Structure 1
Amino acid sequence: MFLFLFYVVLFVVAVASLILAIPLLRRHLVSNPILKIFRKMLPPISQTEQEALDAGTVWWEGELFSGKPDWKKLLAYPKPQLSAEEQAFLDGPAEQLCAMLDEWKITHELKDLPPEVWQFIKDKGFFGLIIPKQYGGYGFSALAHSEVVMKIGSRSGTGAVTVMVPNSLGPAELLLHYGTEKQKEYYLPRLAKGQEVPCFALTSPEAGSDAGAMPDFGIVCRGEYDGQSDVLGMKVTWEKRYITLGPVATILGLAFKLYDPDRLLGKDEDLGITLALIPTNTPGVHIGRRHYPLNGAFQNGPNWGKEVFIPMDWIIGGQEGVGQGWRMLMNCLSVGRAISLPATSVGAAKLAARTAGAYGRVRTQFKTPIGYFEGIEEALARIGGNTYMMDAARVMTASAVDLGEKPSVASAIVKYHLTERGRQAINDAMDIHGGKGICIGPRNYLGRTYQQIPVSITVEGANILTRNMIIFGQGAIRCHPYLLKEVNATHDNNPDSASQAFDEALIGHAKFTLRNTANALIYALFGSHIKDNAPENCAPETAAYYRQLARYSASFACIADIGLMKLGGSLKRRERLSARLGDILSMLYLCSATLKRFEDDGRPAADLPLLHWSMQDALYRLQQAFDEFLTNFPGHIALIWALKALVFPLGKRCKPPTDVLSHEVARLMMEPGAVRDRLTSGIFVPTADGEPMADLEHALQCVIQCSAIEAKLREAVKQHKITDHGDGQIAQALQLNIISAEEAGLLNKLKDLRGRVVKVDDFPPDFGHETRTDTGIAGTIGHVASAAAGAGAAGFVAAVSAAAAAAAEVMESISSDEGGGEEEQDKE
């Protein structure tokens, strides 16, 4: 019986091997039936989804999806560096601009940048950072662009947004890649010199994330333009909102669907999403009203138009650009996500790190710096570790753009995770600062950043959408070595080519899955002993991390494949499962960037606590994401147990950073020196008198100088040598020769600086503004009349005069409001 079963099994294996070895048999008996199943499983892909999938390039994230990342390749990428010209711009105009920015005045008083700042931004070419020199711009690298935005963002959110938008997704970038030569030669020099202020309008009230559903449309027709009749163009109707720089823009980039019912272009009726550049002084364009996003004073607002005629050559790329708008946007959006928002988020995190560390050392409670308390240490360590990893990912992703990549998946990773970690860093810094953080005013260097953080969370793909649908949803198809080929084959209408392409991809996919399944188990069991999983030339302190990442890369590739096979197209709808797989891929990417940063920085031993904290925290998060995915994976309990045994055969071994390590990180952040400077490099650190951050920096230096002197003072108090516990304590210590005159001078200086640091803004009861409780003409007259009651004839006359003036003021206000209402009616 046993021999019979052996021969049966041998026969089955032989037949299966024969079928798999002969392509023709394999295609007809295996691949084609599976292709039919795939076509039923996969949901239909819209044109916008397909263009999103095709957009950008796959970079290091593809290596992570392979299950066997090539670490030598990662470390061989050149160290990102600024040119002398770029550094000079950062040290010159960027530093000058930061010094001109007063975020309290901008947000509280002006609700805009001051006119002199606007002019400085234009005169110094801040709108032309990415525009090539041949068109009058700087032609800066992506890294330099990121550094400029980060520096400004550490000083003023309003200033950062104003500078970053023209250099991000907008007319300049779209023209550079897709504009006609005529469009480039006209617009790019004007944009570079600030003669044009650009904005780009994509989001509609009814179509935010689902841009393919935008109701804005254009109809191809002939019309009159510039005194000429019968001009080929289109009548465009749209309503957009959340458009940054929109209220002050002179050139409007617009996305809309274009239709050609009369076939004037000789194509289909539905031509697809199209982009155009429209001067905002064009008749019918309504622009200028403002939104007010969370106390942000950057210019942002709606715009609309109804049947606005524009000529055909206003389409980006001319007539050849008709219907190519979504492809253009997807390719350019990946670059914007990779630079602008990560840069502002890192600027916020570095601001949090520098100020919270210093404040933790300067501010005392119970005669102890608050940063020495373990609760504060925990928050400080989180700020420091997050900032270290965030900056590593920012620099590596910007350098990918400089290498010619358009990293669509990596850009989504850094957009989501850096904005979220930036939010965490600012929240922690606010907790450390306590009451000083929540009382807004000129001396509060954190409050406005805290208020505006949700803006970065929301724009350029809201974070919930990015995490749940984009990172893995797009990453699985783009980064997987075979999945995109299989998907494309299912949409190939040619039976022969579809069958052949699918067969080749399927066989490669099967080998890929088997290899990663075996590697996942082997690496989980013996990965710490496999030397090939770490590069030969890496730092000894980091070798274990490379091996852990190699192990989890193999596990990720294996589990992702099993998830895709089990769930198919429904994985797209199971957003929480997709998000957890995206978290795993993201942690692998962030950890890779962190290890590369340590190598590029020259392996500074003093930075090891930051490296260890950020790596251990990320690996623990990665482990949790695996566990949550497997726990919630649909299927029989035996399958889930088997998958957990495959990923965690020895149990979950990763631990979060220890208290001892957190203590080391926190102390580094509270000590002036090279580590603190490297961690917060590139942000604006003011030095002018009266600057709150300058006072904080001086106080930190002084508190270090006075550390031993204060210890002497405390000991003298303890021994009852000093009996004065008030302002006379320093004088008494000097009189008793406990401290020298020089030491007394230092202590008095520290006392003054501490007072400035802990000072919180206060205002008159009415915050400096007259209050008027009544509204309307009757209310105003009644208010004035009642105030004059009993004042006699002279008082009555004065009251009537004041009432008349007030009524005129209210009438003027009503007239102004009615005008706004008419504008809204015109919009409708």
Structure 2
Amino acid sequence: MSLDISSSSGSTHPDPVPATAVPGLPEREPTQVDAREGESFAEVALRLGGASADEASRTGVIDSADDQVEDLFAEQYKTVNSPVHRAVWENTVDTDTFVAGAVPHDDDVQAVVNRSLAVVQQARDADRLFDDRGKVSDSVFKQLANAGYWGLLVDKEFGGSGASMRQFAKMITRMSMIDPTVAGLASVHGCIGAVDPVRSFGNEDQKRRFLPGLADGSRLSAFALTEPGAGSDLTALKTTATLDGDHYVVNGEKLFITNATFGRTIGLVCKIDGVPSVLVAELPEQETEQFRINRYQIFALRRAENNGLVFKNFRVPAANRLMPTRGDGLTIAYHGLNLGRVSLCANAAGAMRWMLAEMLPWAAYRSTYGQAIDRRELVRRRIGHLAGLIVAADALTDWCAWLLDEGYRGEMECIVAKIFGSEAQKEAAIELFMKTHGGRSFLQGHLFGDNVHDFLAPCIYEGEGEMLAMAFFKSLVKDHGKRFFEPIGRTLHDLGVRRPNFTNPKHVWALRGPMAKYTAWYSAKCVRSAYWEDDDVLRDCDESMLKHIRFAQRYLSDCGVRISDAMRRYQLKLADRQCRMTALSAQVQDAVTILVTALYASRHSDPLTRQAADAVCRRLRRRITGGLPTDSEFRQVTKLGEQIASTGWSELDGTTAGRILQSY
């Protein structure tokens, strides 16, 4: 996906100022990059930077959908007023927006959570969680339905529990400690499946018709977006729906649709009159001439249904079309993704707990050269480091879920959680868990061997990590680019040049207005010192956490100038500097993770949790600064690993390890 650094794509701009309006400049003939009616400057800018007309146009479509989602939120909760955006572009980094408030207790929600956890724990203990095909069994699905599991995010008036996102995310972490697949299916159903689209965009009739069945589990759901030729490029969708009387006739194919099989409810993304749209479709109970399932063998999600869907003149009632007040089907698709990204991080926090719970008894059992390996420095470092990853994932999950509950869009923040959670789980699985267990990791029945693909696959769920890093960067720079770089770019466009020549008086004169505004912003940003108001939040903060908080605040505040320098250096070519964009994005994300984790741990009573937070924050700081670990840092993380190995850790309560395979 290409990046627009200058404009809110899809908006209609006035015609460019004629060149003759600039004193001393000759009038010129229109060129192939002149803005056409209805075309945004972003598309013109991309072509000026060397992108094709098709790529520029497709980028405009995606940015239009992004803007339409933005319009759904109140002004104070939009991206420009989000914690990360303000921290980078303003001179204040207030800690109160980076730490979640107290979680309100709800006895009804907690009862549903407890019943659901008991269902899955009992099924796992009795070895009946999966059926003969290795899928989550129908009996478990039904018991979870009776427990109220599938209706957690459905409002009470439609038969659900009306849980907050924070309550739901905490449940996901606890369920993942028992079984990550069952936890993930709750997210598929409630966050990116049919529940969120109907709840957020359905009319009253659609809510009454669909939500009760989605709440009681009689209709499990999925979201059918991906196609064989359309993944991150959603403009490549081929599935169409044509109105025929009071029905739409659907033709096309979907691929990699989790939780989709016969008899389920899907949010189907298709094109209606060329516009991306969403139909709520009830899949038949068996194959028909109009519908069939494309089954394939897939390593990840093998315990859940993951299938392709093929439609040939498949009829869906016209009354099932979701009609957002603003935007189109892509608006609906993007809305639920943030919920799914938070759930993914929550799932990773639980799965990593299970890994650590499996590591501890093995490390105590396995002996080399007459000594248990949990006495070895490298293994203790792995234990301590894994604990740090868990705390950071917990912190990001809680913070992002709180932002969503508060009404923020949370686009950038949820991307941070998704990328960190998926990458942390991958590192934990390969570098910490597998290497500690050695060859036994690959035995059938081992947590790693049985789940390795599920541990790795989240790196591409809800957006591949590096693609999302560029999306994060685009969200971060869009407003800045629109205010300062778009006027400069438009002036250059009118001059017929790509880069200004400040020895040319005509260029200097033409750019005097936009350059004056940019210079004023830049000077103020460089001269004014960053400040923060956080006495209440940090009143009882210990020194180890405070140093990380101050580092992150200073770094985030400095990032505005750093990023603006890159925008000025690369100008219209920044869209092609994907490596530079992802690097800048990663540094901001790491600083955000440090700040959120340190604030979270500073309010935590468990000293081991604070030590784990200290360990992961130190590591992230080194990643930003390029420093090397000191002996002191090695001692800190290995001491933490030693303590967890010898006394346990409260964060692992409720997690049970399996038996040691091939014991001796």
What TM-score do you get using the length of structure 1 for normalisation? 0.65
CA distance in 2, matches of 1:416, 1:403: 22
Structure 2: gaps spanning 5 or more residues: 1-20, 24-33, 36-40, 48-55, 71-77, 491-510
d(CA) in 2 for partners of 1:418 and 1:326? 25
- Equivalence for 2:88: 65
Alignment-derived partner of residue 468 in structure 2: 466
For residues 427 and 447 of structure 2, the distance between their equivalents in structure 1, rounded to whole angstroms, comes to: 17
* 1:218 aligned partner: 241
Distance in 2, Cα, partners of 1:395 & 1:122: 26
Alignment partner, residue 437 of structure 2? 433
Taking structure 1 as reference, are residues 448 and 217 closer, same or farther at Cα in structure 2, changes over 3 Å only?
same
State the AA in 2 paired with 1:593. Answer: V
Matches of 1:38 and 1:275 in 2, distance apart?
A: 27
Higher relative CO (CA 8 A, sep ≥ 6), structure 1 or 2? 2
1:179-217 deviation digits (Å, cap 9, x = unpaired) = 011010111001101121222110010111101111112
Distance 1:204 1:377 in 2: 45
Report the Cα offset of residue 373 of structure 1.
0.9
Partner of 1:52 in structure 2?
66
What is the alpha-carbon distance in structure 1 between the residues aligned to residue 98 and residue 466 of structure 2? Answer: 32
When the two chains are superposed, the root-mean-square deviation of aligned CA atoms in Å is 3.4
State the match for 2:477 in structure 1.
476
Q: Return the structure number with greater helix share.
A: 1
Report the counterpart of residue 332 of structure 2 in structure 1: 328
Q: Partner residue of 1:706?
A: none
After superposition, the Cα gap between the structure-2 partners of 1:612 and 1:133, relative to the gap in structure 1 and judged at 3 Å, is same
Maintained 8 Å contact 1:473/1:572: no
**Other-structure match for 1:513:** 522
Aligned residues of 2:257 and 2:308 also touching (Cα < 8 A): yes
* Residue matched to 2:257: 243
2: distance between equivalents of 1:508 and 1:188?
A: 51
After superposition, residues 811-822 of structure 1 pair within 5 angstroms as none
Contact 1:385 1:610 in 2 (8 A): yes
Q: Distance in 2 between matches of 1:321 and 1:460?
A: 24
Q: Aligned with 1:253: secondary structure?
A: strand
With 93-102 and 570-579 compared, the bigger mean Cα shift is at 93-102
Question: Could you say what secondary structure the match of 1:310 adopts?
Answer: strand
Could you say what secondary structure the match of 2:261 adopts?
helix
Change (3 A) 1:286 1:616: same
Report the equivalent of 1:800.
Answer: none
Quote how far apart the aligned CAs of 1:239 are: 0.4
Matched, 1:760 2:662: yes
Whichever residue aligns with residue 637 of structure 2, its letter is S
Deviation at 1:90, TM superposition (A): 3.0
Letter in 1 for 2:393: M
C-alpha contact 1:620 1:656 (8 A) present in aligned 2: no
Are residue 671 (structure 1) and residue 656 (structure 2) matched? Answer: no
Query: Contact 2:294/2:310 (CA < 8 Å) preserved in 1?
Result: no
Distance 2:449 2:125 in 1: 13
Q: Aligned to 2:139, which of 113, 116, 136?
A: 116
Secondary structure of 1:393's partner?
helix
* Residues 1:653 and 1:448: Cα distance change in structure 2 (over 3 Å): closer
Counterpart pick for 2:569 among 566, 569, 574? 566
Q: Which amino acid aligns with 1:250?
A: R
Q: 1:505, 1:61 → 2: CA distance?
A: 26
Query: Aligned partners of 1:659, 1:323: CA distance in 2, in Å?
Result: 52
The answer as to whether partners of 1:219 and 1:258 remain within 8 angstroms in 2 is yes
Change in 2 beyond 3 A, CA 1:566/1:758: same
- Contact 1:55-1:408 at 8 Å conserved across structures: no
Q: 2:304 aligns with which of 279, 298, 301?
A: 298
Give the counterpart letter for 2:229 in structure 1.
E
In the alignment, residue 422 of structure 1 is paired with which amino acid?
A: Q
SS of aligned partner of 2:189? coil
Match of 1:111, SS?
coil
By how many angstroms is 1:408 displaced? 0.9
3-state DSSP of counterpart to 1:405: coil
**SS of equivalent to 1:516:** helix
CA distance in 1, matches of 2:98, 2:231: 39
CA contact (8 A) 1:233 1:312 kept: yes
1:381: how far off?
A: 2.4
AA in 2 matched with 1:431 = K
Q: Which deviates further from its counterpart, 561-570 or 134-143?
A: 561-570
Count residues with an aligned counterpart.
Answer: 585
Select 1:308's aligned residue among 281, 289, 314: 314
List gaps (5 residues or longer) in structure 1.
1-26, 30-34, 223-230, 260-269, 493-501, 524-529, 625-651, 687-691, 694-756, 763-828
Shift in Å, 1:232: 4.0
- Residue 155 (1) aligns with residue 178 (2): yes
Match of 1:409 among 407, 412, 416: 412
Cα separation, 2, equivalents of 1:247 and 1:76: 40
In the aligned structure 2, how far is the partner of 1:556 from the partner of 1:70? 12
Whole-Å separation in 2 of the counterparts to 1:399 and 1:466: 21
Superposed, 1:289-438 pairs within 5 Å as 289-294=294-299, 296-317=302-323, 324-338=328-342, 340-427=343-430, 428-438=432-442
Query: Counterparts of 1:656 and 1:414 in 2: how far apart (Å)?
Result: 30
Matched AA of 2:64: Q
Alpha-carbon distance in structure 1 between the residues aligned to 2:68 and 2:575: 17
Given the superposition, is the C-alpha separation of residues 151 and 289 from structure 1 closer, same or farther in structure 2, using an over 3 Å criterion?
farther
1:810 corresponds to which residue? none
| C-alpha distance in structure 2 between counterparts of 1:489 and 1:164, whole Å | 43
Q: Supply the distance in 2 between the matched residues of 1:38 and 1:200 (Cα, whole angstroms).
A: 30
CA distance in structure 1 between the partners assigned to 2:98 and 2:271 by the alignment: 45
Aligned match for 1:168, one of 166, 187, 191: 191
User: Does residue 662 of the first structure (1) align with residue 637 of the second (2)?
Assistant: yes
Alignment check: 8 A CA contact 1:277 1:314 kept: yes
Asked if the contact 1:64–1:588 (Cα under 8 Å) also holds between the matched residues in 2, the reply is: no
Aligned to 1:110, the other structure's residue is in SS state coil
- Cα pair distance change 1:509/1:350, threshold 3 Å: farther
Question: 1:41, 1:568 within 8 Å by CA — same for their partners in 2?
Answer: no
* Letter paired with 1:669: I
Note the 1:35-46 alignment, pairs <5 A: 41=45, 44=56, 45-46=59-60
- State the shift of 1:491 in Å: 11
> For residues 107 and 375 of structure 1, do their structure 2 counterparts lie closer, same or farther at Cα, with a shift above 3 Å needed?
farther
Structure 2 CA distance for aligned equivalents of residues 655 and 515 of structure 1: 37
Code of the aligned partner of 2:400: T
Match of 2:621 in 1: 619
State the TM-score, normalizing by the size of structure 2.
Answer: 0.80
Once residues 115 and 312 of structure 1 are traced to their aligned partners in structure 2, the CA distance between those partners, rounded to angstroms, is 31
Query: How many angstroms apart in 2 are the aligned matches of 1:90 and 1:232?
Result: 41
Q: Residue 248 of structure 1: CA displacement? A: 3.7
User: Map of 1:487-526 to 2, 5 A cutoff?
Assistant: 509-518=518-527
Q: Does 1:85 align with 2:91?
A: no
Match of 1:582 among 576, 581, 585: 585
Secondary structure of the corresponding residue to residue 240 of structure 1: strand
Measured in 2, the distance between the counterparts of 1:544 and 1:53 equals 37
Cα distance between partner residues in 2 of 1:71 and 1:564: 26
Matching residue's letter, 2:662: V
Distance 1:28 1:380, change over 3 A: farther
Question: In structure 2, do the counterparts of structure 1 residues 133 and 620 end up closer, same or farther at CA, with 3 Å as the change threshold?
Answer: same
Aligned residues of 1:276 and 1:315 also touching (Cα < 8 A) = yes
CA distance in structure 2 between the partners assigned to 1:411 and 1:576 by the alignment:
21
CA distance in 2, matches of 1:253, 1:370: 50
CA distance in 1 between partners of 2:512 and 2:222 (Å): 47
- Partner of 2:284, secondary structure, is coil
- Residue number in structure 1 paired with 2:232: 209
Query: CA 1:489/1:240 → structure 2, altered by over 3 Å: closer, same or farther?
Result: farther
Structure number with greater Rg is 1
**1:383 deviation in Å?**
1.0
1:143 alignment partner in structure 2: 166
Percent identity, aligned pairs only?
15
